[in-house]
Amino acid sequence: MRLYNTLTRKKEEFIPIEPGKIKMYACGPTVYNYFHIGNARTFLTFDAMRRYFEYRGYDVTFIQNFTDIDDKIIKKAIEENITPDEVSEKYILAYFEDADSLGIKRADMHPRVTKNLPEIIHFVEELISKEYAYVVEGDVYFDVSKFKEYGKLSKQSLEDLMSGARVEVNEQKRNSLDFALWKSAKPNEPSWESPWGNGRPGWHIECSAMSQKYLGETIDIHGGGGDLIFPHHENEIAQSEACSGTTFANFWLHVGYLNIDNKKMSKSLNNFFTLREIREEFDLESLRLFMLSAHYRNPINFSRELLESSQNALQRLYNAKNNLEYLFDVTENRNLTEEENLKLDNIKKFKDRFVEAVDDDFNTADGVAVIFDLVREINTGIAENSPKEIVEVSLSILRELAGVLGLLQKTEDTLEDKVEELIRQRQEARKNKNYALADEIRDKLKDMGIVLEDTPSGVKWKRVILETKN
């Protein structure tokens, strides 16, 4: 397996620190609002990576934090006339609800900043004792000039960063790039006791402290959105390696940006969508397929038309699965002919093709392409006269490969419920003499491989093999 390491700007063979085990940390949300679809891409990518590592036999420990105290959370609390704790609790619950709807598995731990303050304070004390940090009137800053490798992740020298830094009116800092490890308390804001007086932690120190607590001083993979490379991840490296004296993370993985209709997502452009808003109109499994159909490092363009296309593509996968399930019930066990043995061997090779694709820097785009190649093979080569063994193996491999990416996860009960609900809507439309809608619903069911029969005892339905378009 090879992964592109942002630290070295090249693909490298992935060798974990401990054979068979992976320690992975991904930056989670600051919980002051519902997360948007750009965030969704990052969260989904690391969920899919974790699933794939587990599929390849690794024991993965995956940590994703919640930043539950921050200027934005405090501002939101004032706007909603509730406490910062109530804001963070509200949006943590909302995060899980939205993440669940996108098929994102829970991390092994979701540590919160406010539950790890002793570790954060101890981390800052260590940096002060090693003279990497300094205290000014209750604030604690990291001195970037003391960390000689500062800029190694963003590939910028300290001098270039200094010259390009925004001019800040802050006479407390020794250097313009020095960043806060601890902020002294402000009136009417939450604060905690520390050796430097009441205050709260800076943003960057939180992830370093929680990663070290739950995964150790050196981890296999650290990741997040591309916007976090500088300053967040750069600062994490500086303070973590200054504190421990050893490498913080062997691999740094970053997810590309998501644009809306070829424009950067922005509230000012009125093209800012939360996942919750997308959920109201689309099945989020189609969004999952859409996002995994692009390489995680590449920018991706989102539009209604592209998501509708992804929804149709997802239906093709379900049609293939449903057809195979139907065929499994009607085909017979028999010996395979020589030609059928060759066909079975060819179908089994799709697993190797999938692994070869995704092993190359987690290339889910090519992995998805392999799955659709398998679907084409199924649609053109398997029928009611096929031996049950070919049907069974094809169904198993389709479920397996799609399942690795978190696709085809709806149960048959869900399909039946959907069919019954559409039939109910059709009956209601006919009762209201809305025959156009009734015909539209019948056509929709037909596209799902469902054929209706109106009988004196009511509407009966059955599944048929679809002639799926490739």
Beta carbons of 99 and 39 less than 8 angstroms apart: no
Residue 25 CB burial class (10 angstroms; 0-12, 13-18, ≥19):
buried
Largest CA distance in the chain: 86
- Where b means 16+ CB within 10 Å and e means fewer, 78-102 reads eeeeeebeebbebbbebbeebbebb
Query: In angstroms, rounded to a whole number, what is the distance separating the alpha carbons of residues 314 and 413?
Result: 18
Query: What are the binding residues?
Result: 27, 207, 232, 236, 267
| Helix pair 234-244, 117-129: axis angle to 10 deg | 70
Beta carbons of 162 and 150 less than 8 angstroms apart: no
Query: In angstroms, rounded to a whole number, what is the distance separating the alpha carbons of residues 287 and 407?
Result: 11
Query: What are the binding residues for ATP?
Result: 267
Q: Who contacts 247 (Cβ-Cβ below 8 Å, separation ≥6)? A: 218, 241
Query: In angstroms, rounded to a whole number, what is the distance separating the alpha carbons of residues 256 and 265?
Result: 13
Query: In angstroms, rounded to a whole number, what is the distance separating the alpha carbons of residues 372 and 242?
Result: 48
Q: Is 222 helix (H, G, I), strand (E, B) or coil?
A: strand
Query: What are the binding residues for Zn(2+)?
Result: 27, 207, 232, 236
